Structure 1
Amino acid sequence: MLNTLTFFQELALQKGDKKLAKKIEKQSAAFSQKNLKLHQTPIDSNKQIRQEKINKSLQKQAAHIYSLQKQLEEQVDKYWEQLIPELSLKQKPQEQELQPKLASRTATAFAAAAPVLDPFEPNDDVDTSYPVTSGNFYNSKLSTAKDLDMYRFDSGAQSGELTVTLRVPEDKNFDLAVMQAPNKVVGMSTRGGVGVTENVTFQVQPNTTYYFSVFSMSRDFSETTSYLLSFSKITTVLNLAKPIDISLPTGETPGYRFTAPVTGTYRFYTSPYGGFGAPFDTVLSVFRDEQLQQALKFNDEAVDGSLFSEIKVSLDAGVTYFVLATSFDSTKGLHARLTAALDASASVVSAALHESSANDGTLTETQTVVLKNGTFTSDAASFVTVHNVPTGLQPLVTRVNSTQLSIQFTGKAVEHEQKHRAANLFVTIPKAKIAGADADVTTDTFALEFTNTDSFTLAAPPDLDLAKGSKKIYKFTAPSSGDFELSTTYFGGVEGSGPSNTKLAIYEDFGETRLLAANDDGDHPPFSKAIVSMEKGRDYYVVVSSADNNAVHARLLARYTGVEYVYNAKGQLTQIRQNEQVLSEFTYDSNGNLSKKTDY
């Protein structure tokens, strides 16, 4: 209560009544002196005896202390009515009866005339005071010369120091008072001067109701420009990948604390309330300080034409930042979802992996996936998907550390010529396996490069010199459709090189899974021979090995046994060929008649 008298002394000075201010000062000093005298305690070296004396003294003075308290309250009530009756937390009986009617009329008038002129009206007294939350921000107006706005703050379990800040329009002079019923001033800020920010810092007691009053002793007001009322303690916490749905009325803006768990780039963005529904025009801001003076980033539209907002910003581990979400349209409340997430991304280290030197479809090189802005869960490797893997290969994923994965390919690619190059492999990691991510993360693409198998043609038969127990695979591309004879003979075509006991097998695939023909001894044992029907342009794989597990020293031959008919664009037969040799050739005159046939 003595604080309240000090408040009235300052108020009287601001109103220019120095005489009243001096009177209040003397009364305050007198009350203080009487209070000290009534609370004087006896002195005794024995603590127990001293405490007993103190208790007896207080009991003896209890009636006088109560009487002094009542006198102080009565004097305070008189000054409320004399100096600033509109801020009094006490109402006369007739005022209490009239207030609901006035509130109803005020609400109706505002709804009809200017629905967003003052979004929290009616809030001119204790009964209609607007409930506020520590950490939120309130935009409103003093819309008439006698207007005042009252806000109610219920502390609940909260305690400690709290600062209430009033940011005043640059051309107005508003004031701020913090009170505790009945008519007890906790703090007041009346600095004077237009555009001056008012602050009141006080100690919050748990389970206590406080009232914040915004008014103007100079009777300033504005129907167009808002003030901003805020708190020093933003208590609501925004956690990674845990969206908060916001639905608040016009004028009320939520603030959130966000502590970065790791250093990296983060995304703050708005989306439809509840995850679905209509878009809402929002604005996002991120600040370094709780007073919202050090802005890091601001965003209205995530992309041009979008109503929702998105901010990407680099934050430091362990540092607390403050996020503000508002409606772009000041005449509307806020109805949207707010999410904070790590801007996780992943990339592969190698642009391509290459077939092993065995040239058999295996890969010994490994791929590394590096995660940026996030950490893998301990079991992430088990849930990774590698896309577009060639048939025959199986990816084996291993978690190297919290930001790296290793991918090894086991098995053999069924098709592994250069033309079978796989150019569009990529990796997907589920969002649940990246701490703080709000979406699955996909890498850039990489390739698997294959090496062509050694090949041979009809005109260039290869000579083989294989070690004991080994084999050799050749690719043969059919130059024509029809039957081909594949056989082995003397190395270099020289009979003196000696025979080799060979074995032939012809497959449709390098993996030797689709056998077309096989032979141990042909017409000239121990050499081999097999006849296979082939399609022009298609690859076939010829496997040469020893029939008796010895070394092989031989030549591999291919011969076309069929006849090929060649036609021109007019459908006229021009050649008959066999084994890449022309047997007959046909010539036509300008009328399309056969004019000449040449046999070779």
Structure 2
Amino acid sequence: MNRKSFSLLLVFALLLQMFFVTGVSQAATLLPAPGYVSDSNVTSTTIPLTWGYVNGADLYAIRVNGSNIYLSNTTSYTITGLTPNTTYTVEVSGVAPNQQGWQTWSAPKVIKTAYPAPTGLYIARANGTSAQLKWNSVAPGALYMVKINGQISNFMTDQTEITVTGLTPNTPYTLSVCAMPLGNGYIGDPANVSLTTGLAAPTGLQVTGTTDKTATLAWNAVPNASWYHLFVNGNLTASTDTTTYTLQNLTAQTSYTIQVAATTNAPSTYIGDLSTTVTATTKAPAPVGPATPANLKTTANESSITLTWDAAAGADSYKVYQNGALVTTVSGTSYTFANLGANKTYTLGVASYDSVAGKESAAATVSALTAPFAPSDLTATTTENSLTLSWAPVVGATSYKVSLNGTTVNTTADTSYTFTGLNADTLYTVGVSSVNAGGTSTLATIKATTAKVVLPKLFLDTPVDVSLPAGKSQSFIFTPSTTGLHRIYTGPYGGTGGSNDTVLELYADAAMTQQIASNDDFNGTPFSQISANLTAGVSYYVKLRTYSSDVALNARLTVSNEITVGSTPISLNKPIDFDVATGSSKVFSFAATTTGVHNIYTDYYAGTSSSGASDTVLYVYSDEAMTSLVASNDDFNGTFSKVSPTLTAGKTYYIKVVGYNSGSVHARLAVTL
């Protein structure tokens, strides 16, 4: 069956053929050229055009470079698929398809597309207040402009690199580079790169003490800082998570210039601005005999403790002790005590040793607690968008760290945790570790798959009656076949029931965490309505509930294309010729004067088959909100539509006409007895 209407291009071609064949005088039927043709927001591949209205024109032709022709039924059009940095000549003409006539082209307008986005954009280096950008050349002689968070800045260059200054420390930025010609022309497409600037420079840097081999420094904390990096004589030398640090293994009686910069733990953070410079001068060599180790730190799990310390002056090795007993001698500044009991306290010590002089320092000690045992008896229960992990209590644990796919997400004192906002039908690895004051146990894990989402489907212009007990809601999935404005609304159950105070919610995800829109009361009624632009082929999720949780739900739910044209009155035996654009609809109102069967149908435009057949769909409603469907029809004896409902005198009915599969319509509507 033929379901395709004649395209505008075919109509235009037929009109041109008619003009050539008839040979009508151009002077008698000539349409004037559009009064102006203007362009704006030109990109590297598109040219948006607007022009003046031409009286008598039903169509407009757009000619590009004297040959390629595009058609528009409005006074605007966007030419797409163009080549960047290329000059095009554009002309526009009005066309009257229903009359004999010829087209008059506007004056040629020369437009050059913008440059494409620069390639290879990256951040060469950055700190707390500046970032250096580099990129590949777009074209010889091109200028480049920098946008900061989408706003045009004063940073411009004719080179392929630039340093953006005046940024705020510890702040996320999106930096864009656009190319543009040296003279007049449009700004080209942006290439984007994101960064978070480094932290502000630490203040108060000072030398608090020196020996013949060390220099101890202190500074003020920087907000949000996780690490501090020390630069000695301009070179990055050490890092620490505290606001003090002792530089080791320095040369006696030597001056060093020192600066400090801060960073966060974020993976994309740059080192912040450098502090002011201080100078530390080491002392003469210390007397013979190693210094006692300092800055002892421990990290533990359930079976081991790692002890670390700063290197001690005069020491070439270290002796480590457990509960006062010598364990071993090491050359480094760390040692791991193994085979320990879980959740137990140990006294650990370390002494510096000079093997040449045969002297040992006093031992520095620290009390350390091992972590509890790792959790056991892990179980997982799932829903469509959540996973609950449970485990047996662990002796000595004060809290538990829970992880999702290897990343720690939270800490809890309970023996269960619910991960929310998950995707349906997805495998996850969840884990938990025990925590006490001493440390964190190894991670115990389990795999689980969330439940599948099985929701009833909504279809365009197909009402669904919903009846639910109090406190319950119903969710649906709707996948539009066309892109455009859609109306989702409630009405009386069965189309004739009483009112029900409903609430509608529209989401972009099955987990229903990304809400697009919601509505309680619409247009002074307790029913609800949402109008939203939806994308063809994308699934959306609709949730229906009552306003009050103690009231049962009885309502009708409908999805339709948004009405873009107001209702047009139609009378008995007085057909109306009309057009409907692709993806749109047209609504007519009919006031019945007699009670009985009425024939409502579509036919050829102007009553002639030469106008072409349109594949139409008819809907007849008994209410203006179009929630109570009386009758509907797709094909009747061909591609046109016909319904024969019994109408009541004195009542107004609403007739909605759409193209099949959201196509365009060029047809006639009639109502007869």
TM-score (norm 2): 0.29
Higher strand proportion (structure 1 or 2) = 2
Larger Rg: 1 or 2? 1
